[in-house]
Structure 1
Amino acid sequence: MWHDLMAVQIPIAEKILRTIAVYALILILFRLAGKRGLAGLNTFDMVVVFLLSNVVQNAIIGNDNSLLGGAIGAVTLVAVNSGVTRWLARDPRAARFLEGSATTVVKDGKLVPGALRDLALRPSELEHAIRVQNGDNVSGVARARLEPDGQLLVTLKAAEQSATRGDVEELRQRLESIERLLTELAADRRR
């Protein structure tokens, strides 16, 4: 029994190469699928992720069901992912190539023609993201863009943005000034 758990049934180099090849394939597939695939996992996306993991399992492990073989595959996946992540953090050109660039979907309160269609993004998803980020509708958005990591970043028009603490403090000071002026005017009238 212990021998079956620890005896790697295919060469370790093959297991590492299989894992790297499958990682690269999935990376390419997600890159081709586009940012929309990362934006928010709906039911269909979850089904694909679960099935995808099952489909590529044998490509990674081969004819090896050992505990050590699985550990080698897991360590390889984590190491490769860590290496790629660090590489992308240091090399903007590699990040642009592998992840893509941001896509503007709303500009000056209007949808960018074809952007939603190209990203396979539904208007309801865009509207939801706008509401989550304190907007009311597309017309109140200065700019919205889908980032390579799938996040939708919304910048509201200045008139649509919530008041900040600085805004409230400025208003408080202005009100105090008005109150002082009114008090002075009332005092002048009494004289």
Structure 2
Amino acid sequence: MWNLSEPWWELLLRGSLVYLVLFALLRFSGKRQAGQMTPFDLLLLLIISNAVQNAMIGQDTSVLGGLIVAGVLVAWNNLLGWLTSRHRRIEALLDGRPEVLVHNGRVFEDVLARNRMSLEELQSALRREGCFDLNDVGFAVLETNGAVSVKRRTSA
């Protein structure tokens, strides 16, 4: 139960490598909040977690091995959170930047495509904010956390 079948340093290395690679893959797969995940997104996350389990832990099935890898994952998460809160360049690299989706009723299709967002998803986000017509939108911004912020057009 407590005896490691893999060296502790290998568990650290495996956990770190898997965390960083998955972070990069998910970071560049687009911005989406957990509440906006499709069933396909959820399925992908579940399958990924199962697929990388052995890559992180190897042949070790001990409680201690699992705790070491869990500690490594939490440590990386905290370190990256700390770095992004203190360095704007690192924050921009890891979290990305907000992007304008709509300006004065004009949809930027290239921004939607780059963020793997469909026009239907955008319209749904706009409706949640009370904008049922694109012409009513002054700005719609895709935030780094996947939320869409909307500012209505002002009447001139």
Return the TM-score normalized by structure 2. 0.92
Name 2:59's counterpart in structure 1.
63
Q: 1:54 aligns with which of 50, 54, 60?
A: 50
- Percent identical pairs in the alignment equals 32
The answer to whether the 8 Å contact 1:8/1:69 transfers is yes
Q: 1:28 aligns with which of 10, 13, 24?
A: 24
Name 2:105's counterpart in structure 1.
109
- Counting only pairs closer than 5 Å after superposition, residues 150-169 of structure 1 correspond to structure 2 as 150-159=146-155
The one-character-per-residue Cα deviations of 1:59-94 (angstroms, maximum 9, x if unpaired) are 110110011111111111111101111110111100
- TM-superposed CA distance for 1:36, in Å, is 4.7
Name 1:87's counterpart in structure 2.
83
Q: Which protein is bigger by CA-based radius of gyration?
A: 1
- TM-superposed CA distance for 1:152, in Å, is 1.3
Moved over 3 A (4+): 36-39
Q: Tell me whether 88-97 or 130-139 shows the greater mean CA deviation.
A: 130-139
Name 1:14's counterpart in structure 2.
10
Quote the Cα distance in structure 1 between the aligned partners of 2:62 and 2:35: 36
Q: 2:114 aligns with which of 92, 114, 118?
A: 118
Structure 1 counterpart of 2:97, one-letter code: S
Q: Which runs of 5+ in 2 are unaligned?
A: none
- TM-superposed CA distance for 1:57, in Å, is 0.5
- TM-superposed CA distance for 1:33, in Å, is 1.4
Name 2:137's counterpart in structure 1.
141
Instruction: Determine which structure has greater relative contact order: mean sequence separation of CA pairs < 8 Å that are 6+ residues apart, divided by chain length.
Output: 2
Structure 2 counterpart of 1:84, one-letter code: L
- TM-superposed CA distance for 1:37, in Å, is 8.0
**Higher helix content, 1 or 2:** 1
- TM-superposed CA distance for 1:32, in Å, is 2.3
